[in-house]
Amino acid sequence: MATIKSIGILTSGGDAPGMNAAIRAVTRAARYNGWGVKGIMRGYKGLITGESEEFHSNSVSNIIQRGGTILKTARCKEFMSAEGRKRAFETMQSEGIDALVVIGGDGTITGAKVFAEEFDIPIVAIPGTIDNDLSGTDTTIGYDTALNTIVEAVDKLRDTATSHERLFFVEVMGRHAGYLALNGAIAAGAEAAIIPECATGDDQLKTLIDNGFRKSKNSAIVLVAEDPATGGAMGLAERVKNEYPQYDARVTILGHIQRGGSPTAADRILASRLGVAAVEALKEGQRNVMVGIKNGELVYTPFCQALSKTKSVKQSNVELVKILSI
């Protein structure tokens, strides 16, 4: 294996609180080991165009508390083509970048996997997504902050729901994973969580109306994952209007507010640990792996496993919402 003298860092896909803490950790760990560091702007797009700058320890001062990513982020269609990836490799060579640390979700890791296989490049990924949907780590960077944002919003919405005796559907992010909706419902004391993992079973809305809202409550908060399998908050509210017209339903879609804000202490610590671990992985000769933390311990998961295995919500938490909603 060629000796690593300089690495590149990039963030790609959706931003997540804590990405800056990870950038800081990677930069300082690399500098601690005597490596050069290039901060690559706008994800894989910047890797193709050569939009990068040399990073030193002071380049990442005063960023650990900031949301978003100082490296910016973008989705790059050109990188999906063989020609685009060839240009990216040529840019790496001209910039003297020997290895990459990429921070992002499944799309970012998919791109890294293909790129590494084509050009035999050492790449380590750090899981950064509020969806918490990557196998190989208990928690992804940004998830805890997003969860706290959801709970704060639901706490405020409950005041109106109670005052007006309304049924509120609160749509949260998560794509195909129900982690934010399910654990947000537990933490905020919501009456139900409608998530894609349970979409193939009973009619979740009917169960809510029959067993909860109709029997004992004059107001309710329901968290809904944005996945089409759930019907979405707007679709569920329309069903209530048509099937249960006696109830006054309202919709709140939290949207991109969930991706913003200063990261929580948990996300800062997670990002710091994973950032240093990514550099250590490269030092050890690891390549094409995602760093993560499982049961408190650092682990390396090959890209193919991180992308292929489905990370399921805990069924015990689904039952917990039902028990606590009576």
> Which residues are designated catalytic?
131
Quote the CA–CA distance of 88 and 82 in Å, as a whole number.
10
Quote the CA–CA distance of 180 and 148 in Å, as a whole number.
10
DSSP structure class, residue 312: P
Beta-strand ranges (E) seen in the chain are: 6-11, 36-40, 52-54, 99-104, 123-127, 167-172, 192-194, 220-225, 249-253, 289-294, 297-302
One-letter amino acid for residue 84 of the chain? G
Residue 111: helix, strand or coil by DSSP? helix
Find the DSSP H helices in 165-264.
Answer: 179-188, 204-208, 214-216, 232-243
CA quadruple 278, 105, 86, 38: dihedral sign: negative
Calculate helix-pair angle for 179-188, 315-324, nearest 10 degrees: 30
Beta-carbon-side half-sphere exposure of residue 250 (alpha carbons within 13 Å): 14
Strands laid side by side in the 36-40 sheet: 52-54, 36-40, 6-11, 99-104, 123-127, 289-294, 297-302
